[in-house]
Amino acid sequence: MDPRTLDGNAVAGTLNEIFGVEMTTAVGRCAHCGNRAPLGALLAYVGGPGIVLRCSVCSELVMRIMRRPDGSYLLDARGAGYIRI
Amino acid sequence: MAPLQWQVATVTALRSETKRVKTLTLLVPGWPSHRPGQHVDIRLTAEDGYQAQRSYSIASAPSAQPLIDLTVERVAGGEVSPFLHDELVAGDRFEMRGPIGGYFVWEAAAADPLLLVAGGSGVVPLMAIIRHRAQVASGVPCTLLYSSRSRDDVIYAAELERLNQRRDGLRVIYTFTRAEPPGWTGYSRRIDMSMLGEVIEGTGRMAQAFVCGPTPLVEVAARSLVDIGLAASQVRTERFGPTGG
Amino acid sequence: MGERLVTRGFVGRRAAPERGQRVPPGQYVTDDFPVLSAGPTPRTALADWTFRIEGLVGQPVSWSWPEFSALPAREYVVDISCVTKWTKLDTRWQGVSLDTLLEHVELDSRAAFVVAFCDGGYTTNLPIADVLNDRAFVAHGYDGAPLSPEHGGPARLVVPHLYLWKSAKWVRGLRLMERDEPGFWESFGYHNRGDPWLEERYSGD
């Protein structure tokens, strides 16, 4: 257990900025273990070079986000089998 | 729904809740109201352009007024909370965006009994839920299990006591982890599975649980509730990280 | 982007910016040691821990914790810089030079790059010149005590002349390669080499 772990809900503002809609209630399926959960329930690691969202069941990477210097975002969602929006 | 925009919030009032905790009342023109449990992001900018950004839960219930309360614990050595406590005065302005979040939210239309589990300043979004519940006179049974260091650290103590007296289905259970009040016969330890097991007797296993506070407390409580028999979908968590927000 | 609203009275935690040669451009000095990570803190039992060197080497080599702890180690006092803009001066580590570790293998002539791999799946890549000649070490002590898990213990790579994301926490080994293989952040918007003195933060810098 890492005391710095947060929930996906903590990055709701950034997800909203990227997707243009509220995303924490969108359900995602972990590509590794198949667990389905709202993005708000993912484990979030922030403060480093980017935001990393992991499955709360298997801890594998579901999504990562970093901000480019021009203000655009990179999003890697390969760890999500799908996201239902 | 339009994407969130940064807006300007003006501080209209500040009041102390406890020695380490203050509530800021902010005026936000055009505020679209909010749902209990949501938060805002605030952004502070120094003269040289350096910025710091933090999230704070909205403490107030939804209202027709463009005013919201944020309750902030002063974290010693922190970068932002000491500024909000020590420097900010009425009339000051900073950037804010919100309301944010749809996951850690309670709707008054939900019929399930509520179990609210709070550690320290984790009580803030849960207080928004409690206030909204009172505001709409929801009769849904609601239990707040609230862990604090000592009685002096209980945020909203008088208001919780007043709401507790209304006998409208709200039950407030305290536990103290550092110093118990004289004559205290209640819990005096960190929240654990055995405590939650006893508390859930009064709520039932159909409860919708909201757990908020420092990450270690949230993880123990959430895991315990699932071990007790709640489905993962019945337990919503808001971890505040190591210092409790 | 609209004009920025300056918040009256807000300064932030930064110390006064230092002039001179010690602080890379765009960085501020901190007295803290921020803990940042991309995942949960791994908790590998020391009895199960190994450090491996593999890939383009004559024979792969692996040390258990007791064996690794017995390798010649020394104190390093170095400045570290994170791409998130903080720099910490005079951090004190106890660790084993990568030169010492690589002495135990026969490097293939094609070995031009190193990938460090870690518990939890994190990776970072470096040209081999960036880890030779005492430019990098594997640390198992910090500030006179065993390296704590939150800072990468039991052992982490430390490459002080590059941004701190190259100093991979919870390192479990090195793979010697012919081709460069961008690691976790290098493959995701960050610079492939990460020299703070050239502000090589992002890909395209």
Report ipTM (2 d.p.).
Answer: 0.94
Q: Do C1 and A71 touch (CB under 8 A)?
A: yes
C100 domain-assigned: yes
Contacts of A6 in chain B (CB under 8 A): 215, 239-241
| CATH number assigned to the domain covering B7-100 | 2.40.30.10
B117 Cβ contact partners less than 8 Å away, ≥ 6 residues apart:
B144, B145, B191, B196, B209, B210, B211, B212, B213, B221, B225
B80 touches chain A (CB under 8 A): no
Q: Tell me the C-alpha to C-alpha distance, in Å, between residue B78 and each of B46, B69, B148, B241.
A: 16, 21, 20, 13
pLDDT at position B244, please?
Answer: 45
Q: Do C7 and B92 touch (CB under 8 A)?
A: yes
Residue A33 Cα, gap to closest chain B Cα (Å): 16
- What does pTM read for this prediction? 0.92
Q: Binning pLDDT at 50, 70 and 90, where does residue A10 land?
A: very high
Q: What is the mean pLDDT of chain B?
A: 94
C71 domain-assigned: yes
With a cut of 50, which residues of chain C have pLDDT below it? 1
Residue C25 Cα, gap to closest chain B Cα (Å): 15
On the question of pLDDT at B85 being above 90, the answer is yes
Residue C80 Cα, gap to closest chain B Cα (Å): 21
C6 touches chain B (CB under 8 A): yes
On the question of pLDDT at B114 being above 70, the answer is yes
Neighbours, chain C (3 or more CB pairs < 8 A): A, B
Number of domains in chain A: 1
Q: Do A9 and B41 touch (CB under 8 A)?
A: no
**Which residue, among C158, C156, C125, has the nearest Cα to C42 in the 3D structure?**
C156
pLDDT, one tens digit per residue, over B130-151 is 999 999 999 899 999 999 999 9
Spacing of C-alpha A19 from chain mean position = 12
Range of the domain at A66: 6-84
User: What is the CATH architecture of B114-239?
Assistant: 3-Layer(aba) Sandwich (3.40)
Across B13-42, average pLDDT: 96
C3 domain-assigned: no
Number of domains in chain C: 1
A1 domain-assigned: no
Contacts of C37 in chain A (CB under 8 A): 2, 4, 45, 48
Q: Do B219 and A1 touch (CB under 8 A)?
A: yes
Bridge-partner residues for C75, per DSSP? C94
A51 domain-assigned: yes
Neighbours, chain A (3 or more CB pairs < 8 A): B, C
Which token pair is C60?
Answer: 């792969």
pLDDT at position C15, please?
Answer: 57
Across A2-10, average pLDDT: 92
The Cα–Cα gap between B153 and B23 comes to: 14
C117 domain-assigned: yes
The Cα–Cα gap between A38 and A56 comes to: 11
Which token pair is C31?
Answer: 């007295």
pLDDT at position B245, please?
Answer: 35
Across A28-53, average pLDDT: 96
Across B175-196, average pLDDT: 97
Contacts of C8 in chain B (CB under 8 A): 92-93
pLDDT at position C21, please?
Answer: 79
Across A50-56, average pLDDT: 97
